[in-house]
Structure 1
Amino acid sequence: MFGKSRVEAFSDGVLAIIITIMVLELKAPHKADISELTELFPKFFSYVLSFIYVAIYWNNHHHMFSTAERINGKILWANTHLLFWLSLIPFTTSWMGETNFSNISTMLYGFILLMCSIAYHIVQNSIIRQQGKNSKLKKAVGKDKKGLISPFLYTLGIIFGIFAPAVSMIIYTGAAILWIIPDTRIEKMNFFE
């Protein structure tokens, strides 16, 4: 087992790059015309939603790792797995914006969100297992209702993407709003350094 500072720094760097890649996909209109901005709405909305998701993962990742004093190789690999799925968010964000929320791009976006959620739970469970029966993180997350609801919502969004991508986007936005509401479970446990 070893310290957690390198994995936290690496994760912060990857998430910063993900946000940078997404914002570079936004291109300014060539004309000073409001209709040009209207055409950018799908790209801008995709960016805003994805930025919120990346911010949610950064925030929760920080909180989760604040409970860990040391980490092991399993946690490192689980974290790398999470970063892999998060790194695909810019691609699906761009594709949704370019295709005006097409069925397939909206479904793929939901699939990536689902995989990010699963990967996050793998990291969380790896930390809980490493901490043992008196796991600080397990005490803090409790039954993890949000964590159980989210994969269900992403799956529902994927299904609706087949025939109603607009409904999928509403579901994905709702799931993001669920996580934007501050979650103070870990903060209440006073784990912060």
Structure 2
Amino acid sequence: MKTSRLEAFSDGVLAIIITIMVLELSPPKGTDLNALLAKTPIFISYIFSFIYLGIYWNNHHHLFQITEKVNGKILWANLHLLFWLSLIPFTTVWIGENYDAILPIIAYGVVLLFCAIAYFILQLIIIKSHDNEFVLKKAIGSDIKGKISITFYLLGIGFSFLNTWLGIAFYIIVAIMWLIPDKRIEKSL
């Protein structure tokens, strides 16, 4: 099976997730600057979540540009990733409205952690579904960047119990690490 249907479906789901996120943004109750500034945490959480979704969309695109074939295991692994990505709007709103509370910060981190794990699993299944000379296998090697991301999410979740801003800092570091598309794959295209 070719990758085009999977890519089109995934693009559609990600577009819907982003649409849901932006629809959750409500205008300020008042018309003055203070009313607008009161929405700052919600808008910042939206920006970071939009960046995260953009990172996943970009890397997913690169991943499937290099993938030669799709099977049932890859389809289910992709759905697993999309499931976790679909929870980002929920945690985005929660963290935006409660940016200094522990549980929303932890929930946001848990969703990001499981998105990373799902992406890691998807990569592994794609690699196992191809031969030993598959370009992706060589391109990602031992996937240190992916493993560091998972570690940082775990650290962010753990440190959120002590200080929510420290937890958020770990989540931001991971986003910065992935802002530039994965060069390992890009070089192989």
**TM-score range relative to shorter protein:** over 0.9
Indicate the residue corresponding to 1:56 in structure 2. Answer: 55
Indicate the residue corresponding to 2:160 in structure 1. Answer: 161
Does 2:6 correspond to 1:7? yes
Q: How many angstroms apart in 2 are the aligned matches of 1:181 and 1:145?
A: 16
Question: 8 Å contact 2:77–2:125 — kept in the other structure?
Answer: yes
Q: Which amino acid aligns with 1:172?
A: Y
Does 2:117 correspond to 1:123? no
Secondary structure (helix, strand or coil) at the match of 1:131 reads coil
Indicate the residue corresponding to 2:132 in structure 1. Answer: 133
Shift of 1:33: 1.5
Q: How many angstroms apart in 2 are the aligned matches of 1:60 and 1:188?
A: 13
Question: 8 Å contact 1:141–1:185 — kept in the other structure?
Answer: yes
Structure 1 segments of 4 or more deviating over 3 A? none
Secondary structure (helix, strand or coil) at the match of 2:27 reads coil
Greater CA drift, 87-96 or 35-44: 35-44
Q: How many angstroms apart in 2 are the aligned matches of 1:81 and 1:63?
A: 18
Question: 8 Å contact 2:58–2:181 — kept in the other structure?
Answer: no
Question: 8 Å contact 1:42–1:101 — kept in the other structure?
Answer: no
Task: Give the superposed CA RMSD.
Answer: 1.1
Indicate the residue corresponding to 1:172 in structure 2. Answer: 171
Q: How many angstroms apart in 2 are the aligned matches of 1:101 and 1:154?
A: 18
Q: How many angstroms apart in 2 are the aligned matches of 1:103 and 1:55?
A: 26
Does 2:106 correspond to 1:107? yes
Secondary structure (helix, strand or coil) at the match of 1:169 reads helix
Shift of 1:123: 0.6
Indicate the residue corresponding to 1:145 in structure 2. Answer: 144
* Structure 2 alignment gaps of length 5 or more: none
Does 2:88 correspond to 1:89? yes
Q: Residue by residue, what CA displacement relative to the aligned partner does 1:28-55 show, whole Å, maximum 9, x if unpaired? A: 1132222112211111111011000000
Shift of 1:102: 1.3
Are the structure 2 counterparts of residues 182 and 67 from structure 1 closer, same or farther at C-alpha, using a change threshold of 3 Å?
Answer: closer
Shift of 1:182: 3.8
Shift of 1:181: 2.9
Q: Which amino acid aligns with 1:183?
A: D
Shift of 1:157: 0.7
Query: Identity rate of aligned residues, in percent?
Result: 55
Q: Which amino acid aligns with 2:136?
A: L
Q: Which amino acid aligns with 2:102?
A: N
Shift of 1:143: 2.7
Greater CA drift, 4-13 or 36-45: 36-45
Q: How many angstroms apart in 2 are the aligned matches of 1:182 and 1:9?
A: 20
Q: Which amino acid aligns with 2:141?
A: G
Shift of 1:12: 0.3
How many residues of Structure 1 are paired with residues of Structure 2 in the alignment? 189
